[in-house]
Amino acid sequence: MATGDQISVRLAAGFPFVFLAAAYALARKRFFGDRALFLFVLFALAIPGVVVLLPQFQEIASLGLIDTRRGVVLLYIATNLPLAVFLMRPAFAGVPEELVESMRIDGASGFGIFRQLFLPFASSTIVAVAVFVAAMAWNELTLAVTVLHTPSLFTLPIVMALHFGSPLGTWVLMAGPLLLLVTTRRVLRRGVTAGALI
């Protein structure tokens, strides 16, 4: 039986599949309610996080996930999913239809086209999304403080706020995202540009 930590890892690992599938569907498929779904994504981006903090806490409590890593991971996925889908959608929409048709004529399956054409084409945007989500999760404090009560489960921002409320603690928190941004700056620049249009 999987432990709570293993489930948390699996949830986090499943996040890319969820936002890639959602962005691909909104960019390349036409179905009933697709425009309404995209408007919902935009609406979710426009709502300040503090407004939905209480409903999120109540939902996590109803699932029995208060003071668990699974609860925090679920909240991080829910809060970052709209941004990830918003950035990825234009990258997938920018793939030329001629290339898609060419691969279909060559006998490629739908998943094969997605794996061999769409993912390489949008790879820079995927990296950009990964950097943004990682930086936001690294520095997130409000949700973690709301859900976690046991010291052994505290995330790094909580530990820094409790024990290292100093410039040194601030630099420690900044170190991870800064290192990530520096090492991926070229790919990040291309990814943000590719995902800049709705």
pLDDT at 180: 72
Q: Between 70 and 161, name the one with better pLDDT.
A: 70
H, E, C per residue of the chain: CCCHHHHHHHHHHHHHHHHHHHHHHHHHCCCCCHHHHHHHHHHHHHCCHHHHHHHHHHHHHHCCCCCCHHHHHHHHHHHHHHHHHHHHHHHHHCCCHHHHHHHHHCCCCHHHHHHHHHHHHCHHHHHHHHHHHHHHHHHCCHHHHHHCCCHHHCCHHHHHHHHCCCHHHHHHHHHHHHHHHHHCHHHHHHHHHHCCCC
Structural domains of the chain, with CATH: 4-194 (1.10.3720.10)
pTM of the model: 0.78
pLDDT digits (tens, 9 = 90+) for 26-52: 999 888 888 899 898 888 888 888 888
pLDDT of residue 138 exceeding 50, the answer is yes
pLDDT at 118: 92
pLDDT digits (tens, 9 = 90+) for 139-182: 888 888 889 988 888 888 888 777 766 666 667 777 777 777 77
pLDDT at 198: 42
pLDDT of residue 90 exceeding 70, the answer is yes
pLDDT of residue 111 exceeding 80, the answer is yes
pLDDT at 197: 45
